[in-house]
Amino acid sequence: MMNDRFERTAPAHLACCAMILALLAALAAACQPRAGGDTPAPATTARDTGRVVASGVEGMNTLTLNREGRPDIGLVGELLPEIRTLTGATIAVQGTPGTGVPGGTIDVSSYEVLEVNGSRAWSGVLVLRDGAYALDDGAALVRLDAVPAALTGRINSKIWITGVLEAGRLRVQSFGIIR
């Protein structure tokens, strides 16, 4: 009895398996690189400016760049832990454009802090040079004046500072630790 049933359904099962194998072969062929230079062009670099916005719930929050007059763009990449500390600040980002959320994304490779709480900001690594505190942005050193005690123990930390720049020295008014 069991053999009769198998013998009647076996051709249908074999036809179904043949169709699945043909579909898998077609999918595998479609995934192969194409000959003749049809490889995708290298990704371009995207640059944009806006205010950092964190949204969502713990464990599932996202960071976006609020671009005045244009849709927000998602921020992704290894620098997100640093950028998360800049929520509310205005930054300029650079990276590889992508998709994934409405408005697209930027896989951030670098950023610059422009404003914090409406004030011009500088960012870099806090260093001690010749007995004086300075901010090293990777291109230049900015000497610091009126460094708060809470900041003096943070040598080699990446920080942002707002203040007044006078005679090549930055008088610290406020600061934040990025990492």
Share of the chain above pLDDT 90, in %: 66
CATH of the domain at 61: 2.40.50.140
Asked whether residue 96 falls in the same domain as residue 152, the answer is no
Domain boundary among 116, 137, 165: 116
Q: Residues for the chain: how many in total?
A: 179
pLDDT digits (tens, 9 = 90+) for 67-77: 999 999 999 99
Structural domain includes residue 39: no
Structural domain includes residue 90: yes
Which residues does residue 134 pair with via DSSP β-bridges, in sequence order?
Answer: 127, 143
Asked whether residue 24 falls in the same domain as residue 60, the answer is no
CA distances from 12 to 1, 3, 7, 19 (A): 18, 15, 10, 11
Asked whether residue 125 falls in the same domain as residue 155, the answer is yes
Question: Measured between alpha carbons, how far is 108 from 63 in angstroms, rounded to an integer?
Answer: 11
Reported as a pLDDT band with limits 50, 70 and 90, residue 152 is very high
Structural domain includes residue 37: no
Q: What are the residues whose beta carbons fall under 8 Å from the beta carbon of 133, sequence distance 6 or more?
A: 126, 127, 143, 144, 147, 151, 152
Question: Measured between alpha carbons, how far is 143 from 127 in angstroms, rounded to an integer?
Answer: 10
Residue 99, pLDDT score: 76
pLDDT digits (tens, 9 = 90+) for 33-56: 444 445 454 458 889 999 999 998
Residue 4, pLDDT score: 54
Half-sphere exposure of 105 (CA within 13 A, CB side): 14
Question: Measured between alpha carbons, how far is 18 from 32 in angstroms, rounded to an integer?
Answer: 22
Asked whether residue 97 falls in the same domain as residue 140, the answer is no
Asked whether residue 63 falls in the same domain as residue 112, the answer is yes
Structural domain span for residue 76 = 46-116
Q: What is the mean pLDDT of the chain?
A: 82
Pairing of strands 169-177, 90-98: unpaired
pLDDT digits (tens, 9 = 90+) for 102-115: 778 999 999 999 99
Q: What is the number of domains present in the chain?
A: 3
Beta-carbon neighbour count of residue 42 at 10 Å? 7
